[in-house]
């Protein structure tokens, strides 16, 4: 989603992988209340996209990796554009600017699954946009992970996330606060990982013969839980440094000028895959209910103020489940129920270095039971745990 002009023009949102999703209309109001003027989506869900009509917010819609094979057929690509782009472009409709074809489809973990389907899908989607008369305004692109330096002659969108999991990586260098740590190259000296990472891509584009290819940073952020270095303090520090950098408009040593950046992400997603790590569910700058996590100033001036919270959020009743210690003779009885609760809810805050890491055994069990209960909409069948919950 887009930041106010003083800092940058771009921001990023995901409104999907959660047990309790805020109404799109509430999210759109949240964006507007905070002066956010651009949003990147992972798909083109009509419920979400329709809510953006008339908002003035510029939108990037997406095609999931699993659908890339389908759009190797031009006929199907044309139908997708008609249904998910043209349909929304009426007077007062949705201001669609980009179509993201896949999302990091060349990751090594995919074992080349999308290598032969991504570029044909990109070509067909752009051709369909052109033939529909949208090609001058709306561009198709492929979001790439930082390690992928192959580019197509459209534009490059890249994902930048901090290297907080590497115990030897200097957090000051990752924070963008420019506190004196330098990484020198033959031509430049870098004081933060963003510039160094960004200019690695710039250099690769030069070597590939496309030095002026537009770069959009599709994801950059810092998680707030699920790892010892994923917390509110470090996240705030990172964003303070990033927003200050975006506001000064100086760019990077090899690409001076304003940067196009989408922050990752808007709201926490408690059902997102944790394969990369428990932090994956905690990228939002807002909690799951749209409350801001920490002070954040989009102007880049570092003012100590909170963003506007989501309005109109409806909450469940104030009730919860805890461990019934009287029903437990041996704590080994509880283990399978805790495993079940955590496997079907979100216990990432209990992990090493996470926000609830210091709970005792009873607290851990109560947390797991209650999280399952809440994510099951407080269903009476989700609170008993064979008598061990109350």
Q: Among all chains, which residue has been given the structure tokens 């994902």? A: 159
The reported pLDDT for the residue numbered 182 is 53
Interval 182-200 mean pLDDT: 77
- Residue 385 and residue 342 in contact, taking contact as beta carbons nearer than 8 Å: no
Q: What is the mean pLDDT of residues 196-206?
A: 93
Rounded (to 5) percent helix, strand, coil in the chain: 35, 15, 55
Which range, 17-21, 82-86, 149-153, is most confident?
A: 82-86
Tell me how far the alpha carbon of residue 338 is from its chain's centroid: 29
Residue 15 banded pLDDT, cuts 50, 70, 90: low
Highest mean pLDDT among 15-19, 150-154, 179-183: 15-19
Query: Among the listed ranges 154-163, 169-178, 204-213, which one has the minimum average pLDDT value?
Result: 154-163
Q: Where does 23-178 have alpha helices with state H? A: 24-33, 46-51, 74-84, 118-131, 171-175
> Does position 349 have pLDDT exceeding 80, yes or no?
yes
Report the length, in residues, of the chain.
390
- How high is the pLDDT of residue 172? 81
Q: Choose between 190 and 120: higher pLDDT.
A: 120
Q: What is the pLDDT of residue 154?
A: 47
- The whole-angstrom separation of Cα 357 and Cα 350 is 5
132-136, 154-158, 218-222: segment of lowest average pLDDT:
154-158
Q: Please answer whether residues 154 and 142 qualify as being in contact, where contact means their C-beta atoms are separated by less than 8 angstroms.
A: yes
* Most confidently modeled range among 152-156, 194-198, 240-244, 338-342: 338-342
Known catalytic residue at 104 = yes
Catalytic one among 58, 219, 269, 280? 219
Closest CA to 143 of 131, 153, 155: 155
Do residues 352 and 223 make contact, with C-beta atoms less than 8 angstroms apart? no
pLDDT, tens only, 48-93: 999 999 999 999 999 999 999 999 999 999 999 999 999 999 999 9
| Ranges for all domains in the chain classified under CATH 3.20.20.80 | 24-281
Band (pLDDT 50/70/90 cuts) for residue 153 is: very low
User: Which among 334, 326, 219 is positioned nearest to 265, based on CA atoms?
Assistant: 219
Q: Are 101 and 121 in contact (CB under 8 A)?
A: yes
Would you say residue 150 has pLDDT above 50?
A: no
Report CA dihedral (101, 102, 103, 106) to the nearest 10 degrees: -110
**pLDDT value for 176:** 79
Mean pLDDT across the chain, nearest whole number?
90
Confidence of residue 169 (pLDDT cuts 50, 70, 90): confident
Is 317 part of the annotated catalytic residue set? no
Q: 369-388 pLDDT, tens per residue? A: 999 999 999 999 999 999 99
Superfamily of domain 24-281: Glycosidases (3.20.20.80)
Contact 202, 215 (CB under 8 A): yes
Contacts of 286 (CB under 8 A, 6+ apart): 30, 266, 267, 268, 292, 293, 307, 309, 310
Q: Is 163 helix (H, G, I), strand (E, B) or coil?
A: coil
| Radius of gyration, CA atoms only, the chain | 22
Identify the CA nearest to 50 among candidates 28, 21, 33. 28
The residue from 104, 269, 280, 308 that is catalytic is 104
With 60 as the cut, is the pLDDT of residue 156 above it?
no
350, 221, 239, 354: which is closest to 284 by C-alpha? Answer: 221
What CA–CA distance (Å, rounded) separates 389 from 342? 14
pTM (predicted TM-score) = 0.90
């Amino acid at each position: 989603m887009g930041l106010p002009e003083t800092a940058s023009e771009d921001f990023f949102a995901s409104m999907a992988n959660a047990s309790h999703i805020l109404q799109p209309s509430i999210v759109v109001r949240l964006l507007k209340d905070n002066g956010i003027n651009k949003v990147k989506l992972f798909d083109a869900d009509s419920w979400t996209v329709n809510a953006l009509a008339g908002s003035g917010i510029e939108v990037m819609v997406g095609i999931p990796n699993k659908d890339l094979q389908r759009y190797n057929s031009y006929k199907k690509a044309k139908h997708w554009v008609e249904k998910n782009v043209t349909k929304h472009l009426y007077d007062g409709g949705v201001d669609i600017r980009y179509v993201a074809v896949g999302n990091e489809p060349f990751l090594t973990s995919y074992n080349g699954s999308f290598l032969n389907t991504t570029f044909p899908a990109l070509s067909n989607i752009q051709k369909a946009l052109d033939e529909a008369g949208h090609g001058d305004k709306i561009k198709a692109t492929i979001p790439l992970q930082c390690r992928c330096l192959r580019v197509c002659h459209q534009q490059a969108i890249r994902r930048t996330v901090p290297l907080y999991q590497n115990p030897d990586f200097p957090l000051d260098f990752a924070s963008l606060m420019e506190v004196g740590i330098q990484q020198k190259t033959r031509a430049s000296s870098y004081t933060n990982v963003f510039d160094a990472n960004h200019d690695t891509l710039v250099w690769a584009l030069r070597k590939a013969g496309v030095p002026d290819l537009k770069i959009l940073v599709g994801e950059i952020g810092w998680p707030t839980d699920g790892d010892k270095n994923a917390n509110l303090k470090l996240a705030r520090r990172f964003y303070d440094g990033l927003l200050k950098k975006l506001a000064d408009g100086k760019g990077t040593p090899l690409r001076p000028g304003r940067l196009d950046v989408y922050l990752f992400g808007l709201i926490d997603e408690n059902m997102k895959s944790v394969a990369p790590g428990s932090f994956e569910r905690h990228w939002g700058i807002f909690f799951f209910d749209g409350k801001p996590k920490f002070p954040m100033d989009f102007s880049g001036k570092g003012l100590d103020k909170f963003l506007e919270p989501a309005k109109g959020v409806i909450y469940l009743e104030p009730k919860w489940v805890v461990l019934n210690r009287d029903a437990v003779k041996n704590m080994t009885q509880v283990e399978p129920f805790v495993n079940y609760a955590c496997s079907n809810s979100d216990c990432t805050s209990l992990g090493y270095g996470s926000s609830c890491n210091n709970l005792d055994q009873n607290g851990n069990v109560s947390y797991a039971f209650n999280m399952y209960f809440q994510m099951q909409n407080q269903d009476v069948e989700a609170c008993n745990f064979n008598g061990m919950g109350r």
